[in-house]
Amino acid sequence: MKRDGDKKSIWQVDIENYAPVNGWEKDKTYDVLIVGGGITGLTAALLLQKEGKKCILAEAHNLGFGTTGGSSAHLNTILDSTYDEIEKKFGKENARHVATDTREAMDLIEGLVNAHHIECDFAYRTAYLLANTEQESNSLEKIKEASEQAGIMVNEAASVPLPLPYTKALRFEFQAQFHPVKYLHGLARAFEENGGIILQNCHVNSVEYNQQFTADTSLGNIYSSTIVYATHIPPGLNILHMRCAPYRSYVAAFRLKSGAYPDALAYDMQDPYHYFRTHKIEGKDYLIVGGFDHKTGHNNNTEYIFTELEAYVRQYYDVDTADYKWSSQYYIPADGLPYIGLMPGEDNIYVATGFNGNGLILGSLAAKLICTLIFGKEHYGQSLYNPSRIKPIAGFSSFVKENADAVSMFISKRLSYDKISELAELAPGEAVVAEWEGYKVALYKDENGGIHALDPVCPHAKCIVTWNNAEKSWDCPCHGARYAPNGDLLTGPARHGLTQIKWEGIDGD
Ligand SMILES: Cc1cc2nc3c(=O)[nH]c(=O)nc-3n(C[C@H](O)[C@H](O)[C@H](O)COP(=O)(O)OP(=O)(O)OC[C@H]3O[C@@H](n4cnc5c(N)ncnc54)[C@H](O)[C@@H]3O)c2cc1C
């Protein structure tokens, strides 16, 4: 199974790409086209299909290619936006609604696992939130009070079953974990058993409405009455790109000499925070630890972050080997809650984004809510998570100020091979954005010494991409679009890849 990065996540171990069985009727108009084969898309597809809608799901690569395949797969009713923050911005009643919704999302996942016998290691765990400073202790108190009031089961922890430092800790019952890709494949099978259609390697380029939607895709036109963008961030230029900031987070899976793997989930309160849990893969336990988050495209040595992560873990654990290391992307919403519902300005296009680091729960919640909305049923979530809501977004300008740097430097001239070679004085595997006669050129030297030259202007909002040396991708620092070394699109919101720069003189071209 492939992912949107060069590094292998633990969820890719011994998992083949999903092989769909049902055939696509090319002339048929489906009730709903779901775009995106992550947890949001597959859950929505299954729920809609179960309710009688004829659904087709289009995934640009393979199921799990996006963040679902690069997650750390904790399932939490406690969120990155804490209940005291939610209460402050949205009020007590809405904080209770969010807590209810996250609980129901957990129940939905457990229910689907049981109903469809999905072997994805779903298991309830206790989670611990650890404070280490007076300020963190004070925050912990507020989190405890607001979480209790919202209806979350929480206690002060008498002890913590992990060798991590803390001065005070909270204990949350009925949190959970699972294997996200096995879960996705189980959902996909259930969806197909209900008559659903899955198309992989099917990139939706654009959609047009004329009595019905015609989606222009890499496999041809798909016709539908409704569209659901379950693409983690919607494609194209949209107000939601100003309200969601893309971040990278780093995860590694360790074997321990002692064999003392924790049977709990844990998080500290640093900014960015670290997260811990255990998972058994092919009969072997692994300690999974993550953190070191930063805004996408804003770190020039992402590979080094894994060195820092391992050094951090070695302070507390007798690490034997670090077997898997990977990073992935998430989107922080401006006011703390996800955007779920009708795409701003559209009638029959639904969207779900801004999940922060909780998208397995919030993506499931989104799928359920979108299903409710498509059937025209009333739900408080329609306004609470409304993508068109206007909320104060103090401090959010810092996330998007890079828009101001947007520049267009499209190269119409041709470079010579000699010039390219001179600019690309790089070791194999290295890349640089070089300057040439006032223009910028993105250059990557592959492991065989071949040079790939690209226009570094992201086609989404015209920002200049930067090199991510860990995942071997060109990442846009503005809205998080990502590209393979050859310029192919890995992750939206761009609709297509970077332009290749041709050069002269190598083949008599
Ligand atoms: C390191 C890390 C750890 C995390 N850990 C947790 C955790 O422990 N718990 C938790 O709840 N959340 C966690 N999250 C967040 C969570 O994993 C994500 O929010 C969630 O997986 C998003 O799911 P999704 O289905 O919306 O998007 P994705 O899984 O990204 O799926 C979107 C899919 O859409 C496809 N696509 C995009 N554009 C198109 C197009 N135009 N045409 C066709 N297909 C398209 C993509 O290829 C992709 O496969 C973590 C995130 C990160 C980065």
Distance 338 CA to ligand 1 centre (A): 13
d(CA 93, CA 322): 44
Does the beta carbon of 66 lie inside 6 Å of ligand 1?
A: yes
The pLDDT value given to residue 163: 96
Using left for φ > 0, alpha for ψ between -120 and 50, and beta otherwise, residue 232 falls in left
Phi/psi at 378 (5° precision): -70, 140
Q: Tell me the two tokens of residue 453.
A: 């030259």
Which of ligand 1's atoms lies nearest the C-alpha of 490? Answer: 47
What token pair was written down for 171?
Answer: 């204990």
CA terminus-to-terminus distance, the chain: 37
Angstrom distance (rounded) from CA 12 to CA 30: 32
Distances (CA, A) of 317 to 24, 289, 312: 51, 11, 9
Ligand 1 atom closest to the CA of 361, numbered from 1 = 11
The predicted pLDDT at position 504 comes to 64
Q: Does ligand 1 come within 6 angstroms of the Cβ of 338?
A: no
Q: Domain ranges for the chain, please list them.
A: 10-70+181-238+336-395, 122-176+242-333, 404-504
- Tell me if 361 CB under 6 Å of ligand 1: yes
Provide mean pLDDT across the span 219-225. 98
Q: Which pLDDT does position 414 carry in this prediction? A: 57
Does the Cβ of 249 fall within 6 Å of ligand 1?
yes
CA dist 27 to 23, 213, 222, 455, Å?
Answer: 12, 13, 8, 38
pLDDT at 412: 47
Give the span between the Cα atoms of 358 and 415, in whole angstroms: 45
Q: Is the CB of 251 under 6 A from ligand 1?
A: yes
List, for residues 238-296, the tens digit of each pLDDT value. Answer: 899 999 999 999 999 999 999 999 999 999 999 989 999 999 999 999 999 999 999 99
From the CB of 358, is ligand 1 less than 6 Å away?
yes
Q: Is 508 exposed, middle or buried (0-12, 13-18, 19+ CB in 10 A)?
A: exposed
Task: Name the one residue in this structure whose structure tokens are 């611990």.
Answer: 128
Determine the Cα–Cα distance for residues 365 and 47; give it in Å rounded to an integer: 11
For residue 188, pLDDT over 90 is answered with yes
136 or 503, higher pLDDT: 136
State the distance from the centre of ligand 1 to the C-alpha of 38, rounded, in angstroms: 6
Q: Is the pLDDT of residue 402 over 70?
A: no
Alpha-carbon distance 176 to 76, whole Å? Answer: 7
pTM beyond 0.75: the answer is yes
Of the candidates 449, 483, 451, 491, the one whose C-alpha atom is nearest the C-alpha of residue 466 is: 483
pLDDT tens-place string over residues 1-34 = 999 999 999 999 989 999 999 899 999 999 999 9
Rounded to the nearest angstrom, the distance between the alpha carbon of 192 and the centre of ligand 1 is: 21
- 326-342 CB burial, b ≥16 within 10 A, e <16: bbbbbbbbbbbbbbbbb
Average pLDDT over residues 143-163: 97
Cβ atoms 212, 29 nearer than 8 A: yes
Nearest to 270 by CA among 135, 86, 395, 77: 135
Q: Which residues share a beta bridge with 170?
A: 129, 156
CA distances from 260 to 170, 274, 324, 429 (A): 22, 19, 19, 37
Pocket test for ligand 1, best of 71, 340, 368 (most atoms within 8 A of CB): 71
pLDDT at 351 over 60: yes
Is the model's pLDDT at 398 over the cut of 80?
Answer: no
Looking at the CA of residue 74, tell me the nearest atom of ligand 1: 8
For the cut 80, the answer to whether the pLDDT of residue 378 exceeds it is: yes
Reduce the DSSP state of residue 435 to 3 states and report it. strand
- Is 137 exposed, middle or buried, given 0-12, 13-18 or 19+ CB atoms closer than 10 A? middle
Q: Is the CB of 59 under 6 A from ligand 1?
A: yes
Q: Which atom of ligand 1 is nearest to the CA of 4?
A: 47
Which CATH topology does 10-70+181-238+336-395 take? FAD/NAD(P)-binding domain (3.50.50)
How much distance in Å is there from the Cα of 133 to the middle of ligand 1? Answer: 33
Residue 376 in this model has a pLDDT that exceeds 60: yes
Q: Which residue, chain included where needed, has tokens 């992990």?
A: 162
User: Please, how many CA atoms are within 13 Å of residue 236, restricted to the half-sphere of its CB?
Assistant: 11
Residue 403 · residue 493 · CB < 8 Å: no
**What is the CATH superfamily name and number for domain 404-504?**
Rieske [2Fe-2S] iron-sulphur domain (2.102.10.10)
Distance CA 181, CA 65 (A): 9
- Distance in angstroms (rounded) separating the CA atoms of residues 175 and 9: 22
Query: Residue 415 pLDDT more than 80?
Result: no
pLDDT value of residue 85 = 97
Q: Which CATH class is domain 122-176+242-333?
A: alpha beta
| 492 band by pLDDT with thresholds 50, 70 and 90 | confident
How many other C-beta atoms are found inside a 10 Å radius of the C-beta of residue 407? 11
Per the structure block, which two tokens stand in for 35?
Answer: 């775009």
Q: Which carries the bigger pLDDT value, residue 415 or residue 283?
A: 283
DSSP one-letter code for 39: H
- C-alpha distance from residue 363 to each of 37, 38, 106, 157, 237 (Å): 12, 9, 11, 29, 22
Segment 290-329, tens digit of pLDDT: 999 999 999 999 999 999 999 999 999 999 999 999 999 9
Measuring from atom 20 of ligand 1, which residue has the nearest CA? 359
CA of 440 to the centre of ligand 1 (A): 31
Cα of 215 vs centre of ligand 1, distance in Å, is: 22
Give the pLDDT of residue 396. Answer: 52
Nearest CA to ligand 1 atom 14: 357
- Residue 391: the pLDDT is 65
Whether 200 lines ligand 1, by a CB cut-off of 6 Å, is no
- Cα(334)–Cα(329) distance, integer angstroms: 16
Closest atom, ligand 1, to C-alpha of 491: 37
Cα–Cα distance, 156 to 158 (Å, whole number)? 6
Query: How much is the pLDDT for 426?
Result: 87
The residue behind tokens 């699109």 is 489
Nearest by Cα to 429 from 454, 406, 452, 408: 452
